[in-house]
A and B are shown apart, each in its own frame.
Chain A
Amino acid sequence: MQAFRTNGSRVLAIDLRGDAVRAATGSMIAYIGEVTFRHAGSGGGDGLLAGLKRRAAGESLPLMTCTGQGTVWFAKDAMEVTVVELAGDTLKVESEQLLALSDGLRTDVAFAGVRGVSSGQGLFTTTVTGHGAVALLSAGGPPIALEVSPQFPLVVDPDAFVASRGQLNQTFVTDVSWRNLIGESSGEAFSLRFDGHGVVYIQPEER
């Protein structure tokens, strides 16, 4: 399995030794060596069922597979890169904030409820399961990992949500009454409340 390393806080570097890695299409900024880039199939290359779900959901997760011998550098829109290790558990992540994932991980689509309905985001998140490394993107600064537990329920602005893992229950709360009044304001008219046990990753900037 490759080592995911960061060069500064906004660039991910991966050394390939004849193996492969999947990354967001268009995120490669430079490479040295012999590397080929192939579209990873519709739906992130994880089987017909995931692909169908994805098409039905209207969500797209364009990934490419990078194979070969050399070093590849990845980045996207100057967002901060954070590497998270999965040890058999599942990470739910906004698909546009997924930069790269190691080859052993499996991707799927999960229904996220009506989150994102007025902002035009998809109704689905991408789930990543298995053993390996995931590189996440965070806009506006490094992501913040917040613990959720029975004594610490958490409320999050949907446009700041990046990813979550654990046994979490997500509900909607209407605590932000100003959004209904101001026509020109963008953003959801509700917030996301998380209960249970797990971790939520947020970014310092609203999408």
Chain B
Amino acid sequence: MTPLNPTTLPDNDNVPDNAYAFCRRLDGQLFMQTGRMIAYYPAPGGPGIRFEPLTAASVGGFVAQRFSAPLYTRDWVVATGSGHLLLGDRGYDINSYDLAEGNLTIRAANLLAFDTSLELKQSIVPGFLTLVGTGTFLASSSGPVIFAEPPIRVDPDALVGWADCPSPSHHYDARWMTGFLGGAMGMLFGVQSGEERQFDFTGAGTVLLQSSEHAVADPHLLRQLEGQVGTLSAPGLTRLQQVIQQRLGAQQY
């Protein structure tokens, strides 16, 4: 294993022979999700590299214009400086993507970093973020990301993101639901534990898939839901409690 150094590391590509680590040459600023930096070489003679929360005054006013995802601000930092930055994410495959006046929506947990020339917004689909504009970003996936084209139906946990095509709609497989266990469980719309519900994509574009690890509750989704629970009345709360109990009961695969 020949050791690498800044002259042999790529400027914007996976570390040689390693799909799970990425090297990005930094010269300026980059939005990055916390916990993904594994090492860096500060450029010789330079100011080094520092990583600051989005709220830090020293970061710069551009943050407010570029980062419109209030639920996620605590998970992101700005890396400033020059050098070679190495990133890794939970043993996931990492890829670089170019957007040219485009848009791409991606699961928040799978977005690692993006150029400050791009704009980030929260998608109306909970747990997803949309990137708009021109620039490069880094995304991870459990195993190499799989590209597919609509029309296609995707298990919600397997969806990484989509580009150019319209946002998906929900598809409920009625046959599956009424058939399973004689229909008793099937009739309850709240139960989503297998093949009952998929995201339905149509149109022209690209869909990104993965075999995801068991969906750990997205903490942002949880906060969103908790915030909304307060708006329910007593009958609504009772109904919600039933749905939660059914979901918990169906969790054992």
Contacts and interface: CB of A to CB of B under 8 A. Distances in A.
A152 B18 CA distance: 21
A175 B78 CA distance: 12
B51 A203 contact: no
Contacts of A143: 1
B39 A142 contact: no
Contacts of A141: 18-21, 88, 91
Given A144-B15, A154-B39, A154-B41, A204 B91 contact: yes
- For chain B, which range describes its interface: under 10, 10 to 19, 20 to 34, or 35 or more residues? 35 or more
Given A140-B90, A144-B86, A146-B4, A175 B51 contact: yes
Contacts of B86: 144, 202
Nearest to B83: A155
| Most chain B beta-carbon neighbours within 10 Å: one of A146, A160, A182 | A146
B74 A199 contact: no
Contacts of B39: 144, 146, 154-157, 160, 200, 202
Contacts of B4: 144-147
B40 A155 contact: yes
A145 B3 contact: yes
Contact of B5 (A149, A179, A206): A149
- For chain A, which range describes its interface: under 10, 10 to 19, 20 to 34, or 35 or more residues? 35 or more
A152 B6 contact: yes
Contact of B17 (A142, A187, A200, A205): A142
Given A160-B38, A178-B34, A146 B3 contact: yes
B38 A202 contact: yes
Interface in B1-17: 1-6, 15, 17
Contacts of B18: 141-142, 144, 204
B227 interface: no
A187 B88 CA distance: 14
B247 interface: no
Contacts of A152: 5-6, 41, 44
A126 interface: no
Interface string B61-90: 000000000000010010000000010111
Contacts of A7: none
Contacts of A175: 48-51
Given A144-B4, A144-B15, A146-B39, A151 B53 contact: no
A203 B53 CA distance: 25
Contacts of B21: 141, 144, 204
Given A149-B5, A155-B39, A157-B38, A176 B91 contact: no
Given A140-B88, A144-B86, A206 B38 contact: yes
A185 B76 CA distance: 12
Contacts of B40: 154-155
Contact of B35 (A145, A147, A154, A185): A185
18 contacts: A84-B1, A140-B20, A140-B90, A141-B21, A142-B17, A147-B3, A152-B41, A153-B42, A154-B39, A160-B88, A177-B56, A182-B74, A185-B35, A187-B35, A199-B3, A200-B39, A204-B89, A204-B91
Interface of A: 82, 84, 139-147, 149, 151-157, 160, 175-179, 181-182, 185-187, 199-200, 202-206
